[in-house]
Amino acid sequence: MHDKTLAELARGLAAGDFSSRELTSSLLERIKRHDPALNSFITVTGEQAIKEAEAADALRHKGEAGILSGLPLAYKDIFCTEGVRTSAGSKMLDNFIAPYNATVVEKLRHAGTVSLGKTNMDEFAMGSSNENSYYGPVKNPWNPTLVPGGSSGGSAAAVAAGLVPAALGTDTGGSIRQPAAFCGITGLKPTYGRVSRYGMIAYASSLDQAGPMARTAEDCAMLMNAMAGHDARDSTSVSRNVPDYTQGLDKPLNGLKIGLPVEYFGEGLAPEVETAVREAVRVYESLGAQVIDVSLPHTSMAIPAYYVIAPAEASANLSRYDGVRFGYRCEDPVDLEDLYKRTRAEGFGDEVKRRILIGTHTLSEGFFDAYYRKAQQIRRLIRQDFLDAFARVDVLMGPAAPTTAFELGSRADPVQMYLQDIYTIAINLAGIPGISVPAGLVDNRPVGLQILGPHFGEAHLLNVAHVYQQATDWHQRRPEIKE
């Protein structure tokens, strides 16, 4: 059962081929057997999962089951889950038991899903390799010497390894799409405001967005039907009708206009990744699509702008962790100042401290206009680049990352790590949706094709991705894991 997609499992449950309890027990046993080598989970909620599975089976027996009833999934450990540790991958929150559920958790539980636990992640979602976790690095199932990507690396690795059919991640600058690419799965970053951020521990509030990670676009569409929608508790949530994302998945692509940003195929892109991406584009041409070269002229400014805006927002958001109200507290503080200093020095990891320092500096008197305001102006230019491009084409395509997965410990230079997000960061700055789908293997390392659409264009993106997956089998490839 671990090789089936979410949609296949849903059909199996509906047909009575197996029960949710049988499915859940099988996956929990698989996690117990294989996750010690991957470290993709921080917390496994086995007893709770069995109870939820039995409740789903009871509803199905009464004829009251929904599409997602009884389907197991996992949550990145950045979503608050009532009664379960929610750590954000940090020592600072290692002892934090969430008193409520995030909205997306609430919605998916209401839809009948079964939570198997919380997945590992870069601390406070800051990282591109999942090496910044207090709980240790996550290993890529395709090769345990490689990173899975980040910051949603635990979710990506768990899905790729068949430990869970789907998981939730968050994407602030590529943290769903890049690990999806590195692990050979499908990952969707929705339009900013399409999915509620309530109960999702904040990194950069104007950039963070929750999204599904699964084997296929069809699976992501099923999850989006439950996740998307307005939430009065999130002031950035958009009040807009939610379509049925599973409808229209098979719509033909005749006449589809695909834009290839010239900036995404230049210096820094590994030749083997470019070859795989261009081959994927040729598949689309064979399906009736038209390819047009376009330009996103401010692409080179995306990383500098992001690494002003995101750390500034992180500096403000993480100021709440002071050892007073919740989370880690240093031992025997001599006074309040000592409490603040030692709690934060001991509770945060190096990358989090680095970004807090950068953000605090850019927000300080005398630097706000020079850095933060200027970065926001650049952000507006980047957004306009995408609006201009979508006036000419229906979708944009390119690589999700400049390389395939790299070796653990090989990117010690923070700047080199930041450059991993060159093709994903601008999408968050503009607030548009993007999806990464498997598009090849290079030396047994997956390559991801990134597809971008205009604001609230998720349904069309899922259609474009799904038709490609019907014409190819890259999403069906699995890493070899000794049973």
In this structure, is residue 126 part of a structural domain?
yes
Residue 141 has pLDDT above 90, yes or no: yes
CATH number where 70 lies:
3.90.1300.10
Q: Would 326 be classed as within a structural domain?
A: no
In a domain, 75, yes or no: yes
Q: Sorting pLDDT into bands at 50, 70 and 90, what band is 354?
A: very high
Burial class (CB in 10 A: 0-12, 13-18, 19+), 242: middle
Residues with a catalytic annotation lie at 76, 151, 175
Question: The tokens of 473 are what?
Answer: 């089998």
pLDDT at 308: 97
The domain in which residue 222 lies consists of 6-254+454-476
The residue-averaged pLDDT of 64-87 equals: 98
Can you tell me the distance from the alpha carbon of 446 to that of 47, in angstroms, rounded to the nearest whole number? Answer: 34
Share of the chain above pLDDT 90, in %: 96
3-state DSSP of 196-247: CCCCECCCCCCCCCEEEEECCHHHHHHHHHHHECCCCCCCCCCCCCCCCCCC
Q: What is the pLDDT of residue 482?
A: 83
Residue-wise pLDDT tens digits, 34-70: 999 999 999 999 999 999 999 999 999 999 999 999 9
80: Cβ contacts below 8 Å, ≥ 6 apart: 86, 98, 99, 100, 101, 102, 105, 199, 200, 201
- Condensed to tens digits (0 to 9), the pLDDT of residues 161-209 reads 999 999 999 999 999 999 999 999 999 999 999 999 999 999 999 999 9
Does pLDDT of 2 surpass 80? yes
Structure confidence at residue 334 (pLDDT): 97
Token duo for residue 368: 């706000």
Residue 275: other Cβ atoms inside 10 A:
13
182 found inside a domain = yes
The pLDDT-based confidence of 79 (bands split at 50, 70, 90) is very high
- Whether the predicted model's global pTM rises above the 0.85 cut: yes
What is d(CA 464, CA 461) in angstroms, rounded to the nearest whole number?
5
pLDDT one-digit tens code per residue, 376-434 = 999 999 999 999 999 999 999 999 999 999 999 999 888 889 888 999 999 999 999 99
For residue 274, name the pLDDT band (cuts at 50, 70, 90). Answer: very high
Query: Domain for residue 370, yes or no?
Result: no
DSSP 8-class letter at 190: P
Does residue 410 form part of some domain? no
Percent with pLDDT over 70 in the chain: 100
CA of residue 229 relative to chain centroid, distance: 18
What per-residue confidence (pLDDT) applies to 1?
A: 87
In a domain, 195, yes or no: yes
Average pLDDT, the chain: 97
Q: Is residue 408 situated within a structural domain?
A: no
Residue 366's pLDDT band (cuts 50, 70, 90) = confident
> Interhelix angle for 458-471 vs 217-227, to 10°?
160
If one counts the domains in the chain, the total is 1
Give the pLDDT of residue 419: 87
Q: What is the pLDDT of residue 58?
A: 98
- Which residues pair with residue 228 across a beta bridge? 195
How do residues 205-225 score in pLDDT, each as one tens digit? 999 999 999 999 999 999 999
Per-residue pLDDT at 165: 98
What integer is the mean pLDDT of 433-439? 98
- Classify strands 290-294 and 257-261 as parallel, antiparallel or unpaired: parallel
Q: Name the residue with higher pLDDT: 246 or 1.
A: 246
